[in-house]
Amino acid sequence: MTLDILYFAWLRERLGLPRETVETEAATVADLVAQLVAREERYAFVFGDTTGLRVAVDQVLTDFDAPLSGAREVAFFPPMTGG
């Protein structure tokens, strides 16, 4: 499947790109992250500790165990604070 991946805040800065399109057979978000990490060191650096990250699949907040079947977009971002 083809997925659009969006990166926000410091993830965008550290990866050097705001978005990308990837071909993947990943079944879950965690599988997608593993595929990205295997591609390049910069992904390993960004996704080395996912406990501080949030993820949305097709604009719905979810967790890293979420299935990707039928998904079109995955977004990664740090936790947001309000005020």
Nearest partner of 10 among 20, 2, 18, 1, judged by Cα: 18
Per-residue pLDDT tens digits for 31-77: 999 999 999 999 999 999 888 899 999 999 999 999 999 999 999 99
Annotate 2-18 with b (16+ C-beta within 10 A) or e (fewer): ebebbbbeebbeebeee
User: Is residue 11 over pLDDT 80?
Assistant: yes
Quick check: pTM over 0.95? no
Residue 16 pLDDT exceeds 70: yes
Could you give the domains of the chain?
Answer: 2-77 (3.10.20.30)
**pLDDT confidence of residue 81:** 54
Which two structure tokens, joined as six digits, stand for 70?
Answer: 């039928």
Looking at residue 82, its pLDDT comes to 57
pLDDT at 17 over 70: yes
